[in-house]
Every structure is written in structure tokens, then in C-alpha cells.
Amino acid sequence: MSNSNGRSFTRREAIGLMGAMAFSGRALLGADQPAKPAKAGIALQLYTLRDPAKKNLAETLKKTRDMGWEYVQWSGMPDLPAEKIREALDAAGLKAIAAHCGVEPFEKDFDNNVKFWKTVGALNVGPGGMMGDCKSSLEAWKKGAKRLDAVGAKLRGVGMRLSYHNHAGEFEKFPGDPRCKLDILYEETNPENLFAEFDTAWVQVGGADPAAYIRKYKNRCPWIHVKDLAPGQLLGMARFRALGKGCLKWDDIFAAGREAGIEWYIYEQDNFEGDPFDCAKISFEFLKRNLG
């Protein structure tokens, strides 16, 4: 692929350009007519490798790229200035397509936090759960939804997207409301302001069907966390596996993802029985086989 000046783009640059074109097309068409990329991408949630990264970030990122990953979600990594994060990713040949971060920093200092994540290269951001002061009651939860909606609207105005990552607790209910917390959140927010970053394993732990939820919020989940779950639980704790080594129904999930227009499948694993790099490699190969 080349531009009008005859300069050839690398494969990585071309994919990034197509992603930017898809995003701009979505903004023009509206949430009900999303511009779907020709092919879904795969990425690694770096929280998966948080422990080795604490010891040697550069080596962890290099191993990530060496096993085949090209795209990552920044989370659980050492606290660094945006420029240093970008330098570390560039040195390893990686690109951040998303980041986990709180919404409170955007509420306090919007412009500088936008600058931070744009410097990193992550235009898709979002918290890993509801804000701590918005969990105690239905009223508090709805206030949290309004705060997320407001931040999401501002981010949309600067070409970024806000998502919400669930755990199992979002499938519980408040007294007096028949809806689970996650459905309340999405019904109380504008689909253009807050996207669903479903975590497949935590949806299942919460007692719901991951594929059904992806279909339920079709065109509202441009990226999801793909995570596999060991059968049963140990002392109430969820145990995770490399993709394809657990009990999730991946054929159903991938079929739902195609229907829903998922752009990115982001592999994450919270805990391990073995080496996290081995699990990341197995999961990379699994996604490559199933998504092409």
C-alpha cells in the first residue's frame, strides 16, 4: 500500500490507517450505522503480564512482540510518563490500541489526560469497574452512569471512546429494580458515549451467557476481553486458563462477535497455573487460528 507521494506503508501502518478510517466513518455515520473494519484485530491486555513487567518492562514487551502480538491494551504496567510509555512500546514494536484508566482524572483535568493517552496512542480508554463512591445503592449507581456518560461525551468530542469493563458483580441486582447492574448502566447512558467492554469469563461467572450479551448490545461492544475459565471454582475464586483450554463456548462467542461488529478481541488472563508467557503464546495462536 502506498500514498499519493509514492511512499510505501508497512503492514502495521496500513492496518492503523484502516482503523482510523473506520473510526472516522463511524463518527460520520452514527452509532446505528457503524463502519465495520474488514477484519477484527487481536490484542494483548498487558495486565496479563504485570508481574514480569514489574521486574523488567522492556524485556516483557520484547517477549510480547516476539511471540507474535502487535497490539496491546495498556494496563497494570509501571507508572510512567506518557512519553516513556510510547518510547517503550515503540522500542518493542508494539502499538497501544486501548488503555484501562479511571474516569476521575478526566473529570479533574480533562485536557492533560487526553494529551497523555493520545501521546501513548490509545484512543480507546475506560475504567475496570464502577467508581468506588457510586456502588452503594441504585441511586449511587445511576449517578455513576451519569458521570460516565458525561466523560464519554467529552471524549467523543476529541476523537476518543470510553468503555466500561465488567466483572461478575455487575450481574447482581439492587433491591426494587428487576434489572442487573450492567443493564442499568447501559440503559442509563448514551450508546455513543459509553461502550461495552465485555469480559467473557466474568460474564459467565456472573451467571450470564457471553454470546447472548454480545448480541444484546450489538454495535455497542467494539472491543471485548476474551478470557477463558476453568470449570468450577476454588474457594469461591475464579480460575482462568489460556484461551481454548477452559469451558467457554468460543464458537458461539466468535459467531456473536461477527454479528455484533467487534473490532478487537483483547486477550486477558488474571491468574495462572504455569508461566504467563506460555499462556499468552497459546492464546495468541488460538486467536490466530479462529480469527485468521
Residue ranges per structural domain of the chain? 1-37, 39-291
- Residues paired with 8 in a beta bridge: 2
Single-letter amino acid, residue 54? K
pLDDT number for residue 292: 75
Give the count of beta carbons closer than 10 Å to the beta carbon of residue 176: 6
CATH code of 39-291, in short, is: 3.20.20.150
pLDDT number for residue 236: 64
pLDDT number for residue 39: 83
Single-letter amino acid, residue 7? R
pLDDT number for residue 22: 43
**Regions of the chain short of the pLDDT cut 50:** 1-36
- Residues paired with 74 in a beta bridge: 99
Question: CA-CA distance, 136 to 115, in Å (whole number)?
Answer: 33
Residue whose cell numbers read 473494519: 37
Q: Where are the beta strands (DSSP E) in 27-141?
A: 41-45, 71-74, 95-100, 124-126
